[in-house]
Chain A
């Protein structure tokens, strides 16, 4: 589970609780200009995350940490029953963030509004 904070120029994804530990990340910060967009995407949990390094993979139960797929680096923080969104980045360490959030639609709308202004 993560929380997304947006200010004038940056987007901050803040990991919660023990997820900071499993994923080896407390937060990911990116300038809004490097945020391509966000999408509500419950179906993405059925896809393979790719190769894990480092992080926690418990099959369908939890996918947390850095994964490599299609020559890209992705950060996952999703657990079974969560509400995943996909944030696409450019020019950042991670090409894609796949994270659970409390209110996916409102979060995605806020990210897209900030990224497209």
Chain B
């Protein structure tokens, strides 16, 4: 029987999310996750079952926020979605579903999910402003 949890799940998941955003999923070792979260290895396994379990818990928070929360995913959330879409989604149905749900929550004002994710990907790469298209002429400028 596992001992009751004595840590703040939000703090642990936040620290783990930062590791996944920085290193990606496969490259994030359990050593790194243990160091970042401050949990004992055994507690990490006990609470989440596996590194995948921890990643899915973190991703679930981004994809299915609590009832009433209407905030669009921020840059950190988009980075996590990019990691999930690139590394796990192609071979993991549950992760794929969660990425799909998160995409539905992206603000239509930012364009389609592919635009939002692609824009974030280029920004993250340091290519954001240079690749933005020139502002389109407004219809009034063309009308006679």
Contacts and interface: CB of A to CB of B under 8 A. Distances in A.
Contacts, number: 58
Contacts of A44: 30, 41
Main secondary structure of the interface of B (DSSP, over half): helix
B91 interface: yes
Contacts of A109: 91
Interface stretch (B45-53, B60-68, B121-129): B45-53
Given A43-B31, A70-B42, A88-B45, A117 B93 contact: yes
Interface residues of A, number: 25
A37 interface: yes
A14 interface: no
Interface residues of B, number: 22
B30 A43 contact: yes
A113 B49 contact: no
A112 B51 CA distance: 10
Contacts of B52: 37-39, 112, 116
A47 interface: yes
28 contacts: A36-B50, A36-B53, A37-B48, A37-B50, A37-B51, A37-B52, A38-B52, A39-B30, A39-B45, A39-B52, A42-B29, A43-B30, A43-B34, A44-B30, A44-B41, A47-B41, A70-B3, A70-B42, A71-B3, A86-B45, A88-B45, A88-B49, A96-B45, A105-B26, A109-B91, A112-B92, A116-B52, A116-B93
Interface of B: 1-3, 26, 29-31, 34, 41-42, 45-46, 48-53, 91-94
